[in-house]
Chain A
Amino acid sequence: MIIKDVVCPFCGCLCDDLDVEVDGQKIIKVQNGCTLAEATLTGNNRLPAPIRRTANGWEEISYDDAIRETADILCAADRPLLYGWSSTHGEAQSIGVHIAELIGAVIDNTSVVCHGPSILAIQEVGHPGCTLGQVKNRADVIVYWGCNPTEAHPRHMSRYTTFATGFFVPEAQKDRTVIVVDTRRTESAEIADEFIRIERGGDYEVLSALRAIVRGKGSILPREIAGVAREQLFRVAEICMKAKFGAIFFGLGLTMSNGKYKNVRNAIELTDELNRHTKFTISPLRGHGNVYGSNEVFTWITGYPYAVDFARGIAFYNPGETTAVDILRWGECDAALIVASDPGAHFPHAAAAHLAKIPTILIDPHRTATTPLCRLQIPCTMAGIDAEGTAYRMDGVPIRYKKLIESLYPDDADLLRRIHDRIREVQGA
């Protein structure tokens, strides 16, 4: 059976045009998806049943026991952490927030090691963004700053930017100018019209220099800015100012290098300056499939997009104090529930090491780098493959994940609901 218009749940592009061939409970062919989509959809590394760590290794346990033990660990903790959420659907994320409120936990999503700084900058100066459809149909200048879509979002260039024919850019790559800014020559830089190579940590300076040029104050600039010749910046600023519609996309090169959210703030303010000359937008290239959704769901329910602390009985938000990495690094956290993410692979060493010291429970369909840090792992469905639900694309467009195959695994939303109910029982008692 061939299922049309399937949504790939892997990255923030959430490509919704895949054709997937299914044979019984197995996906056998993926058409139109990139190599990441193919590996995600056809991958077969599922954990068969819940496992608990013993003195000599692992033992399989029942779902009922796993749920009971999870609820007990979370109820007994003084400073529990609920982390992850970015690879599951909004329905599961919302139950996660309710559990956090119930036990006074900190709930955080993968933005903390990703685009958290972008959110802080947006909270300060706003977000002159747009949907990817606007970029595809209008943008004649595309800037990729501190990101490498070829590796992280392979179809971004063919679906929305450089190579896609748009309504106002019928000749696609002939009509569009692509500028890549990075500290190293990435694959994406190979197909750019202009590549700006900046010294590590020089993003803020280069952004400020571009702002000065756009403001007509270019004469004050030194000959070289963070390793970039002044002349190149003049050329790039002119390309941007002459654009009919420009779009900046930025990645972790901007958010996680020196300056962090100040870099993003400066980039947004550059976009603001450019809008005095033409139309320009800026958007983060979000990593996990539904990380934008976790920001949305947290914000609806708590008022804050990530790093929400319920220890006071009300939602409290202070990144740097209530963020998952920080409460783990300080050794503050005494129990953790990880859902649909892999902090074992992505967290700084000190934070990951603390996860191994405390009772950590992982709800994830696969064996991951977090599995060795856990006391208990509960396998579930994978949103977009054997579970349906709502996800948000990197530009904030909600897209419904399809259920492609039937499986015997429980949906993460159902698992979390049972944990939630069990916690209420324990608390009631």
Chain B
Amino acid sequence: MTASLYWYLREFARIEWVRKFFFARTAPLVTPAHFRGFPEPTGKACQHALFCMMVCPAVGAIDVVHEGDGWKPRIHKGHCIRCGLCVEACPNGVLMSGRVLETMQAQGTALLVSFRISIDRDLCTGCGNCVTACPVNKQIDAQLGAGGHSSNDEVIMRVDDGDVQVLHEEKCTGCKICETSCPTQAIQIARILEGIQQPVEGGGP
């Protein structure tokens, strides 16, 4: 015990140590330019594509709300992990964070979100709930939205041969209303996230 006290005092009672401890001068804390903070608005109008919500890996970190006369992404800082994926995924450049947008432009990279519609023909009853409820279908063919009847070849999907047939998968916006309107869980939308790189003039790094 006595020995321990001796060694303790010998280490910490030195004048150099005491001076360093109380009067140390460290460099001020500065946020570096490449630091990726919470996403912030760029000022461009949100088109309600909702890709930010779809791509976000943190539960409850981002939602898109209707404010005033338009839509607006809202970041919940307690949940956001600042990964920047929402910034990359937004097709309209509504959000920015650190150098994410600049790097994407410089390197010609982008995140592409697409959707794949799969129908389980054993479960599908051809009730037409999904094709009637689909907001894109409703917009393309009002008659379809008003009762499940369509002869229009431009719709995303319609009922043929007793089952739902997908005609234009590329028009799907991934809202999943069809999934929630299906009583037999016969339709499923897979959201597919794809990273792509286009060659840039002048070359990338």
Query: Is A31 within 8 A of B160, CB to CB?
Result: yes
Query: How many residues on chain B are close to A (CB under 8 Å)?
Result: 30
Starting from the known contacts A33-B126, A173-B181, 15 additional A-B residue pairs (CB-CB under 8 Å) come to: A19-B151, A31-B151, A31-B158, A31-B161, A32-B160, A35-B163, A37-B126, A136-B147, A154-B127, A158-B128, A158-B131, A158-B132, A163-B132, A172-B132, A190-B183
Question: A36 CB to closest chain B CB, in angstroms?
Answer: 8
- B86 vs chain A, min Cβ distance (A): 26
Is the contact region of chain B dominated by helix, strand, or loop, or is it mixed? loop
Interface positions, chain B 128-152, Cβ under 8 Å from A, are 128-129, 131-133, 138, 142, 145-151
Asked if A321 is at the interface (CB within 8 A of a chain B CB), the reply is no
Q: Which of A4, A19, A164 contacts B146 (CB 8 A)?
A: A164
B162, CB-defined interface residue at 8 Å: yes
Which chain A residue lies CB-closest to B128? Answer: A158
Contact B162 A33 (CB under 8 A): yes
Binding site for A on B (CB under 8 A): 124-129, 131-133, 138, 142, 145-151, 158-163, 180-185
Is the pair A32, B146 in contact by a Cβ cutoff of 8 Å?
no
A150 touches B184 (CB 8 A): yes
Please indicate which of the listed interface residues A150, A160, A162, A165 has the most CB atoms of chain B within 10 Å of its own CB.
Answer: A165
CA distance A251 to B129 in the complex (A): 20
Once A29-B161, A30-B162, A165-B146 are accepted as A-B contacts, the answer to whether A158 and B125 lie under 8 Å apart by CB is: no
Assess whether A34 is in contact with B128, with CB atoms less than 8 Å apart. yes
Least Cβ distance of A348 to chain B in Å? 28
Q: Are A158 and B147 in contact (CB under 8 A)?
A: yes
B131, closest chain A residue (CB)? A158
Q: Write out, one digit per residue, whether chain A residues 147-159 have a CB within 8 A of any chain B CB (1) or not (0).
A: 0001100110111
Q: State the Cβ distance, B149 to closest chain A Cβ, in Å.
A: 4
Q: Say yes or no: A29-B160 contact (C-beta < 8 A), given A17-B147, A34-B125, A155-B127.
A: yes
Interchain Cβ contacts within 8 Å, total number = 111
State A155–B150 Cα separation when bound (angstroms).
14
The chain B residue sitting closest to A150, CB to CB, is: B183
Encoded as 1 (CB less than 8 Å from any B CB) or 0, chain A from 234 to 268 comes to: 00000000000000000000000000000000000
Are B183 and A37 interface neighbours, CB within 8 A? no
Nearest first, the 6 closest Cβ-Cβ pairs linking A and B are A38-B162, A158-B128, A35-B162, A34-B126, A154-B127, A187-B183
A396 to chain B, nearest CB (A): 19
Interface flag for A188 (CB, 8 Å):
yes
The interface centre, meaning the residue of A35, A158, A159, A164 with most chain B CB atoms within 10 A of its CB, is A158
| In the bound complex, CA of A399 to CA of B109 (Å) | 59
A191 adjacent to B126 (CB under 8 Å)? no
**Count of chain A residues with a beta carbon within 8 Å of a chain B beta carbon:** 34
Chain A residue numbers with a CB within 8 Å of B161 are 29-31, 38
- Please name all residues of chain A whose beta carbon is closer than 8 Å to the beta carbon of B126 when the two chains form the complex: 33-38, 154-155
Q: Which residue of A lies closest to B133 (CB)?
A: A163
Identify which of residues 17-45 in chain A touch chain B, using a CB-to-CB cut-off of 8 Å.
17, 19, 29-39
> B149 is contacted by which of A32, A35, A136, A166 (Cβ under 8 Å)?
A32
Q: How far is the CB of A16 from chain B (nearest CB, A)?
A: 9
Cα–Cα, bound, A371→B112 (Å):
60
Set of chain B residues within 8 Å of A187, measured between Cβ atoms: 183-184
Complex: chain B residue closest to A188, CB-CB: B183
30 pairs, A vs B, C-beta closer than 8 Å: A30-B161, A31-B158, A31-B160, A32-B149, A32-B158, A33-B126, A33-B162, A38-B126, A38-B162, A39-B162, A150-B127, A150-B184, A154-B125, A154-B127, A158-B128, A158-B131, A158-B147, A158-B148, A162-B129, A163-B128, A163-B181, A164-B146, A164-B148, A165-B138, A173-B133, A173-B181, A188-B183, A190-B183, A190-B185, A191-B180
Cα distance A29–B165 in the bound complex, in angstroms: 13
Find chain A residues with CB under 8 A from B133 CB. Answer: 158, 163, 172-173
Residue of B with least CB distance to A136: B147
How many Å from the CB of A415 to the closest CB on chain B? 30
B-chain residues with CB within 8 Å of residue A159 when the two chains form the complex: 128, 132, 147-149
Q: Measured between alpha carbons, how far is A4 from B180 in the docked complex, in Å?
A: 31
Tell me if A35 and B151 are in contact (CB < 8 A).
Answer: no
A31→B162 CA distance, assembly (Å): 7
Contact B125 A191 (CB under 8 A): no
Q: Please determine whether B181 and A32 come into contact, CB atoms closer than 8 angstroms.
A: no
- A171-190 CB contact bits vs B (8 Å, 1 = yes)? 01100000000000001101
Chain B residues contacting A37 (CB-CB under 8 Å) are 126, 162
Chain B residue nearest to A151 (CB atoms) is: B125
| Interchain CB contact under 8 A, B127 and A157 | yes
A173 to B179, CA, bound (A): 13
Which residue of chain A is the closest to B121 with respect to CB atoms?
A: A35
Bound-complex Cα distance A33 to B138 (A): 18
- By beta carbon, the residue of chain A nearest B146 is A165
When C-beta atoms are compared, the residue in chain B nearest to A2 turns out to be B151
What is the CA–CA distance of A226 and B131 in the complex, to the nearest angstrom? Answer: 37
Most A CB within 10 A of own CB, among B127, B132, B181, B184: B127
Q: Are B182 and A191 in contact (CB under 8 A)?
A: yes
**Which residues on the B side are within 8 Å of A29 (C-beta)?**
160-161
A20 to chain B, nearest CB (A): 11
